[in-house]
Amino acid sequence: MVKALNTKLSGDAMAKLTVRDIPDEVLRALRLRAAKHGRTTEAEVCEILTSAVKADAQLGFGDALAEMSREIALKNKDVEALEQTRDKTPAEPLRFEFIMRNY
């Protein structure tokens, strides 16, 4: 059986979102969670989606790098090995040339 939850997303323009094939236990948990927070099921889904998107948007560059290193289990010895292979030759300064053109 196909179950669908139609949701209006808040904002300037109201959009509709249809989610199909929601397992019974998930829909039941959503309804209970909504009741606990004093919201409709649709409002609860909107809040969950909004929170998820805001959390992703707030991830900083340093946090992302730290998370990546945790995922690949980067250790201090790995960083030290990378440092040893790094080219330490000073970079050459940029050179700017001004070209006169007759138009």
The pLDDT of 72-100, averaged and rounded, is: 84
Q: What is the average pLDDT value for the chain, to the nearest integer?
A: 81
Distances (CA, A) of 16 to 2, 9, 10, 55, 62: 18, 6, 10, 22, 35
What was the pLDDT predicted at 41?
Answer: 92
Neighbour tally for 95: CB within 10 Å:
5
What was the pLDDT predicted at 4?
Answer: 56
Q: What is the pLDDT of residues 30-74, one digit of tens each?
A: 999 999 999 999 999 999 998 888 866 666 788 878 888 788 887
Domain range for 39: 4-57
Number of domains observed in the structure of the chain? 1
Residue 29 lies in a domain: yes
Residue 45 lies in a domain: yes
Q: What is the pLDDT of residues 64-79, one digit of tens each?
A: 788 887 888 878 888 8
Identify the bridge partners of residue 73 per DSSP, sorted by sequence position. none
Residue 90 lies in a domain: no
Q: Quick one: angle between helices 24-36 and 41-57, nearest 10?
A: 90
Question: Coil, helix or strand for 54?
Answer: helix
